[in-house]
Each structure stands twice: as C-alpha cells, then as structure tokens.
C-alpha cells in the first residue's frame, strides 16, 4: 500500500509523513483509522501490558538502579514499540532522554532531545512536564544551571494541569533545590528542599530525606547558620548509616570536613575528611576531592609526613584517572597536587610560578572565588615571609576582592 492510498480520506500526505517520523502526536481516532486500513489490530490487552512495562522501566531511571537491568528493559520495550502503534510511544521517547542521562551518555540524550523538538507543541501536559524536567536534568549534568532552572520551572508550571503524583513532584522540588544551591540562591534552595523532604518523610524514603538534609546543611552553612548546618549534616549521617548508604555517609563527612575547615577547626576537618575517604567504591574524582582537602588541612596544622602520604595517594588516583577525566586532570586537582608537592618538598620557586602563572589564572577563569581566596592568601603569606612585600600586598588584595565576589553570589 502506498502512502497516498493509506492517507486518502483520513489525513493529508504531509501529516502522515509527520506521524511516521514521530514528529507529531496523532489522535487515537486517526491512529485507529490508519490501523484499520493497514489491517493492524490495536489490542487493549497489549496496550495495558505496554503501559505496565513502561511504568516499571520509568521507575528504574535513577542512579541507584542496576544499569544492566535498566538496559535490558529498555531493549525489550523498544522492540515492543517498534511493532505496535500505541498511545505510550511519545512518553517512552521522552523518558529515553532520562535513560541516556542516567547512563551518562549525554550525546545520545541531546540527539533524542533534538529529534523530539519539533513535536513539543503537540505534547499533552504530562508529556510536557517530563520533557522540561528531563531537559533540566540534561543541563544540570552539563553544569548549565540557569538553563536547568528555566526548564525545571517550566515543568513546575504544568504540574497542576498534568497527572503528576506527589512523589514525582517531590523529586522535581529536590532537583530545583540542587539547582538553586549551585546558583547560591540559598533561601530558594532551603524552601524546595523542605517541600521535597515533607513528601519523602510521608513515604518513609529516608535516603531521599538524607539528601535533603545535606542540601539544607550546605545552604545554612553559606548563610552562616552553622549550628543548623551541623544539625542537618548529623541527621543526614544518621540516616545514611541507618540505611547503609555509603554515598550519603561520604557526602556528609565531606561537607562536615569542609564546614570545620571554613571554621578554622582543622582537627575536626581532618577527622571528617579521613572518614570520607574510607568510604567504599568511591569514584576517582570523588575520592580526590576529599584527599586533596585532607592534604590541605594536614599541611595547615604542620603534619607534613601524613600530608605527604595522602598526597602520594592523590597522585596515584590522578594518574589512573588521566585517561578517563582529561577535563579535571588538567584542572583543579592537578594544580592543587603540584602546589602541595612543592610546599611539602621545599621547591618554593616552582610553588610561586605554578600559582602565579597557572593555578590562580585558572581559578579566575573558572570564577572559583572560594579557592581564589584561599590560594591568593597562601601565596601572599609566602611572599610576605620572603620579604617581597609589594607582591604580597597584590595577592592580599586579590584575596579580598575574591571574597567580595564570593559574598555577592
């Protein structure tokens, strides 16, 4: 049967082409007429089976789930979708964006987004909700946080009109809290974290509650409410241990280490960073974050031998990660390790050149004002001790101006 014969009296040829290329969402009536002409039967039993399988797969699309099982379910569903015309096709395609994000294949996620873009105007409210939410997820992983926020807010706008349950809304509110946190919009981050946690508590989802407590801890830490920050971190730690969630335990110790470091209580910072690196199955970058901060604190209190031992560990991990993570191999961790290698082994000439020629310009380019404050002060102190007062003043000024930028964020 030709396309002309199939479309005659039902839809235009151009509209049929859009349906075939999944560039529009045809009504059930039109699909039924086309299927009748093709001699294809749309079975309600099959449709219900697909709906159940889709829901099962959608519920898997989180980092905690087994990626192998997730992929097997995806391939099974893809085969079903290829041989059946049903009302779940568009929602399945939209959730494929999320699937690729969970697999960290952002290239395929973007390709799927581009493929679906022409159909956006035909999405129903529920499809529109997930479209914007998953686009927000994509931009979060790309660290384009303003664009992530824009899409999350668009998803939030259609909640009332779409058939979205409370658990799903809580997950969106958690994503909004994270994004506001990245943007240092702490009041909004606290508000959304509390909204999300209220639902997680009702459903006894204590791992998600712990994640919210960590976000609250970070936000309260930024606004200098340190007692409330510590309280939230300790609640997260308790829940993480209760549920044997290694990732929660790591994140809590890491953030407590950072808080005590900012307070100038190095012994407590060292205790928590040390506990953080004991966590099993840490990703290379995650372990490097804690190790490099631990080296920093040990150097601060003058425990140079331990600092050297942990610095050696950090170097080994960095070398192993070189091929996988070129973006940070030549970035913060690499420079930081070079700086402390020079400090701990007495190569002060190289220490100065790395900071002035490489590390500080890199931090400026990244807009990393927190580390600019620390390393500009570190260099200024060294220059002052060497009697180079004019240069020292220059870097004290940089530390002060960086701090001013930091509190404006």
What percent of the chain clears pLDDT 70, i.e. is strictly above it? 93
pLDDT in the model for residue 1: 67
Nearby residues of 56 by Cβ (< 8 Å), 6 or more positions away = 73
**Dist CA 72 CA 103 (whole Å):** 13
Cβ-based burial of 2 (10 A; exposed 0-12, middle 13-18, buried ≥19): exposed
- Render pLDDT for 53-63 as a digit per residue (tens, 0 to 9): 999 999 999 87
Report if pTM > 0.75: yes
pLDDT in the model for residue 43: 54
Retrieve residue 139's tokens: 């931009």
**Dist CA 338 CA 306 (whole Å):** 17
**Dist CA 392 CA 229 (whole Å):** 35
When mean pLDDT is compared over 13-17, 84-88, 300-304, the highest value belongs to: 300-304
What is the domain partition of the chain in residue ranges?
A: 260-346, 365-409
Q: How far from the centroid of its chain's Cα atoms is residue 45's Cα? A: 39
Of 115, 95, 122, whose CA–CA distance to 26 is shortest?
A: 122
H helix count then E strand count, the chain: 23, 0
Assign 351 to helix, strand or coil: helix
Q: Is the pLDDT of residue 213 over 80?
A: yes
Average pLDDT for the chain:
89
Residue positions counted in the chain: 409
Output the DSSP codes for 168-184. HHHHHHHHHHHHHHHTT
- Render pLDDT for 350-376 as a digit per residue (tens, 0 to 9): 999 999 999 999 999 888 888 999 999
Distances (CA, A) of 250 to 200, 257, 284, 286, 310: 21, 10, 13, 9, 17
**Cβ–Cβ < 8 Å for 152, 132:** yes
Q: Is the pLDDT of residue 327 over 70?
A: no
Work out the average pLDDT over 153-163: 94
**Between residues 19 and 228, the one the model is more confident about:** 228
**Cα angle, residue 303 at apex, residues 302 and 308 outer, rounded to 5°:** 115
Per the listing, tokens 């994509």 go with 138
**Cβ–Cβ < 8 Å for 50, 86:** yes
Distances (CA, A) of 271 to 257, 276, 298: 7, 9, 11
Nearby residues of 147 by Cβ (< 8 Å), 6 or more positions away = 139
**Dist CA 286 CA 288 (whole Å):** 5
Helix (H) or strand (E) holding 136: helix 125-141
Which long-range contacts does 322-328 make (Cβ < 8 Å, 24+ apart)? 324/284, 325/284, 325/285, 328/285, 328/288
């Amino acid at each position: 049967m030709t396309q002309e014969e199939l479309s005659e009296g039902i839809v235009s040829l151009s509209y049929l082409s859009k349906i075939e290329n999944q560039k529009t969402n045809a009504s059930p009536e039109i699909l039924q007429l086309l299927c009748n002409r093709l001699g294809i039967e749309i079975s309600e039993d099959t449709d219900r089976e697909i709906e159940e399988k889709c829901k099962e797969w959608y519920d898997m699309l989180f980092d905690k789930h087994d990626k192998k099982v997730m992929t097997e379910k995806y391939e099974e569903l893809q085969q079903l979708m290829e041989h059946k015309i049903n009302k779940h096709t568009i929602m399945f395609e939209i959730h494929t964006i999320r699937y690729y994000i969970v697999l960290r294949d952002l290239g395929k996620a973007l390709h799927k987004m581009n493929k679906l873009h022409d159909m956006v105007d035909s999405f129903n409210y529920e499809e529109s909700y997930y479209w914007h939410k998953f686009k927000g997820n994509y931009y979060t992983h790309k660290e384009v946080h303003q664009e992530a926020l824009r899409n999350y807010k668009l998803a939030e706008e259609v909640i009332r009109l779409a058939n979205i349950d409370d658990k799903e809304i809580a997950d969106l509110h958690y994503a909004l809290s994270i994004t506001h946190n990245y943007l240092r919009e702490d009041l909004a981050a606290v508000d959304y974290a509390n909204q999300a946690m209220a639902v997680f508590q009702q459903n006894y989802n204590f791992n998600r509650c712990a994640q919210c407590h960590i976000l609250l801890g970070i936000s309260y830490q930024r606004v200098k409410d340190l007692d409330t920050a510590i309280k939230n971190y300790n609640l997260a730690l308790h829940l993480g241990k209760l549920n044997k969630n290694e990732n929660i335990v790591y994140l809590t110790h890491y953030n407590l280490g950072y808080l005590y470091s900012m307070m100038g209580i190095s012994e407590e910072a060292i205790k928590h960073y040390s506990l953080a690196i004991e966590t099993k199955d840490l990703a290379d970058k995650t372990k490097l974050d804690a190790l490099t901060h631990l080296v920093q604190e040990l150097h601060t209190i003058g425990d140079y031998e331990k600092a050297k031992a942990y610095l050696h560990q950090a170097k080994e991990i960095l070398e192993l990660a070189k091929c996988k993570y070129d973006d940070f191999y030549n970035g913060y961790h690499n420079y930081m390790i070079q700086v402390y290698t020079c400090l701990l082994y007495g190569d002060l000439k190289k220490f100065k050149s790395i900071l002035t020629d490489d590390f500080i310009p890199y931090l400026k380019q990244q807009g990393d004002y927190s580390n600019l404050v620390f390393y500009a002060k570190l260099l200024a102190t060294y220059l002052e001790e060497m009697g180079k007062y004019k240069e020292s003043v220059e870097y004290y000024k940089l530390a002060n101006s960086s701090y001013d930028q930091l509190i404006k964020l």
